[in-house]
Copies of this chain bind each other. A is one copy, B any other.
Amino acid sequence: MTTLNEVAARAGVTPATVSNVLRNRGRVGAATRERVLHAVKELGYRPHLAARALAEGRAPTFALMVSSIANPFYPEFTLAAERAARTSGHFLIVCNTNDDQETGRAYLEQIAGTLSEGVLVTNAELVFDDLRATAERGTPVVLCMWERPDDPPGLPCVAVDFRLAGALAAQHLLDLGHTRVGALVGSRSTHDDGAPFGIHGARRDGFVERFSAADDAQIVAEFICESDTIRGGYDAARRLLKAHPDVTALYATNDLPALGAMHAAADMGLSVPDDLSVVGITDIQLARESRPALSTVAVPTEEAARMAVDLLRELIDRAPRASRGNPGTPMRVTSAPVMVPRASTAPPRTRDQRTRSSLRKR
């Protein structure tokens, strides 16, 4: 691989001049610039971004903290974040915390500031105090998918209006004519927020507010999923449908439990959407590829990833290392979620249309 020194020798300048030309820094005469660029082209030189960053005492990566890359939401987010990171020559380190606070803390201690110039945090059950301590030591931290734009977390973040997402799901079911529905909340309360519905509280509240405001509309039951997974949704949906066989639709605060709810309906002999409508939130790839395809409220995942990387870079560039710790706490809000109607929702059958046999199977 051609080195900077070889380019400098060929162009008859110092390595510092080559560096200045390539980075548009310093004063370099037009003729010299021309000569350097010619040598670069001739020798096929490529700037060695990682080495450059290391030589400058900068860290060449961003760390992305996820609970588990195997959760289908994260790969899509990770792909977009890596693409965005690459535009400034940063590589992306994936840190699976397995929702374990100690693991998350160990990552932060080992990686922040040395290997990683900044930290992107998705919902990985990290302790906010650990994140603040990391930022105070000079390594910017950005929360990537904050769910409550009206309630800033005290850390720089990219927020998605998940309350609106819940409201849009409610409106969709109301527009179809559903009046008796059940809700599956995809997460429990966690240590950090203490809200009864955990990080999905905004999604839940938005749905409940909008649906309950309509005439004659009733949320018959709310069940919390044991886990925010297909399995968690399956189990919660079975319990809900057994206890309340008269609901005509289920809302789930995330796509995975919504997909589980569709499986539960199938196993109970209910046809989706004829006997039961199901709507989720997020629009992961699986939502498009399930049968029937899942109606869901799409959140701008790729946009959020790009915005998070951009914000992280701004925080890194904003101030010299020493004062990065207190950059204020900017919050950027993505474009609004959008309802995407697919095949899993339809107007409710009237009671007479619903077959007795399918009801008996419950």
Contact = CB atoms under 8 A, between A and B. Distances in A.
Contact of A48 (B46, B48, B114): B114
Interface stretch (A76-84, A199-207, A215-223): A76-84
Nearest to A286: B286
A93 interface: yes
Residue among A1, A49, A74, A91 having the largest count of chain B Cβ atoms under 10 Å:
A91
A357 interface: no
A266 interface: yes
Interface stretch (A14-22, A105-113, A182-190, A318-326): A105-113
Contacts of A96: 79, 82-83
Interface string A27-47: 000000000000000000010
Interface string A44-59: 0010111100100000
A259 B115 CA distance: 40
A217 B49 CA distance: 58
Contacts of A48: 109-110, 114
A196 interface: no
A60 interface: yes
A114 B89 CA distance: 14
A89 B106 CA distance: 11
A68 B109 CA distance: 29
A70 interface: yes
Contacts of A270: none
A92 B74 CA distance: 16
Contacts of A89: 110
A115 B50 contact: yes
A115 B111 CA distance: 13
A312 interface: no
B46 A109 contact: yes
Contacts of A259: 289
Copies of this chain held together in the complex: 2
A302 to B, nearest CB: 11
Given A76-B70, A263-B291, A82 B94 contact: yes
A69 B61 contact: no
A92 B91 contact: no
Interface of A: 1, 46, 48-51, 54, 60-61, 63, 68-72, 74-76, 78-79, 82-83, 89, 91-96, 106, 109-111, 114-115, 137, 230, 259, 262-263, 266, 285-286, 289, 291
20 contacts: A1-B109, A48-B114, A49-B110, A50-B111, A51-B114, A54-B54, A54-B114, A54-B115, A60-B115, A69-B78, A69-B79, A70-B75, A70-B285, A72-B72, A74-B75, A75-B75, A92-B93, A262-B291, A263-B289, A291-B291
Given A74-B75, A75-B75, A91-B95, 15 more contacts: A1-B137, A46-B109, A50-B114, A61-B115, A69-B75, A69-B78, A69-B82, A72-B75, A79-B96, A82-B95, A89-B110, A91-B111, A262-B291, A263-B289, A263-B291
